[in-house]
Amino acid sequence: MKIVSIKENIEVEKRIAITPEIAKKYISQGIEIFLSENYGVHLGILDEEYIKMGVKISKDQNEILNTADIVIQLRLLLDEQKNILKENQTLIGVLDPYNNKEKIDSLIKKKVNVFSLELLPRITRAQSMDILSSQANLAGYKAVIEAFANFEKAVPMMMTAAGTIPAAKVLVVGAGVAGLQAIATAKRMGAIVFATDVRMASKEQVESLGGKFLVVEGSENLETAGGYAKEVSDEFKKKQEDLLQETLKKIDIVICTALIPGKKAPIIIKEEMIINMKPGSVIYDLAAVQGGNAAFTEADQIVNKGGIKIMGETNILNKLPVSASSLYAKNLFNFVSNLLDKENKKININLEDEIIKNTLIK
């Protein structure tokens, strides 16, 4: 069994799918690991570290892909790389099937097994493979750090002989994994934290982290069976807007995290809400990659509207690539372990397994 991974385009994606620690785990199971030259050098991981673990390094990416049983990546391969794959090979990654449908369909026609880990079911057995949660956790933390770095006031309350500096007020929009980590991080740094979410189930979690949950009437039934937020009605949106309009006048920093898988992010912070915020306030929009939750969000730009900064990045995890790679590689290892028939050293696509059935793109 040969598992391979080639270097991503580091201008777009700095994370890697196999760390030296995880390579050692694969090899201990009798699996061969092949990586492209300088695979992790941008993260300070030299090829020698991999070689010590028993990894084989090659300069020829095409040969690596051509001879692989399983290819594991972050993003979908480039077209010229993708075209090398052939029948019965397996590709695993975060492949964005909603936006890459045609490219993935071309692989399926060639009878390549394609697994996209965004599609993992929200079940207990899949938690150790849940790349959305592991990566969102880091993204929520980093969004707060980035927002605070651009907020030109102290965050915690400070009492001095010259007077008192009040604590910054933070609003987190969306209390999923990223939102809860944002709440915890902002609270640890001394901010007063508020949060809102369409799922009432989030209230207890927000309050357990020391945040104040803003309740929108009618929130009770807006959660899917899989634990994600549903799209909301126009009536609900109006109630949410009225609550936010008043709340945002008192808020210093907003962290937006509301995403609906496979769809454009809902615009929650409207133009008039932003205009009525205090000058010097900061909005960090984690939904920028899907259009953003704030009206003026532009991916990879800091937009200044009347003294309010609106920030968002297409891949905030490029600012935490070492930590993000460590978690992603572990998630992948757990997924691959579930996929393999260890006795016969081959892939077992068991469609009675909910994890395999949900993630295999047909």
The catalytic residue positions are 122, 127, 130, 133, 228
Cα(296)–Cα(36) distance, integer angstroms: 40
Between CA 113 and CA 88 the distance in angstroms is 7
**Cβ-contact 251, 169 below 8 angstroms:** yes
Which helix H or strand E contains 339, and what residues bound it? helix 321-339
**Number of helical (H) and strand (E) elements in the chain, helices listed first:** 12, 17
The enclosing H or E element of 116 equals strand 113-116
Q: How far apart are CA 127 and CA 120, in angstroms?
A: 9
- Per the CB < 8 A criterion, the answer to whether 131 and 17 are in contact is no
**Is the Cβ–Cβ distance between 47 and 76 less than 8 Å?**
no
Which residues, including other chains, have CB under 8 Å from residue 141's CB and lie 6 or more apart? Answer: 181, 182, 185
Exposure class string for 74-91: b at 16+ Cβ within 10 A, else e:
bbbbeeebbebbeeebbb
Which three-class secondary structure state does DSSP give residue 142?
Answer: helix
Question: What amino acid occupies position 200?
Answer: M
DSSP code of 318?
Answer: G
Q: Provide long-range contacts, Cβ within 8 A and 24+ apart, for 79-82.
A: 79/103, 81/6, 82/106, 82/107
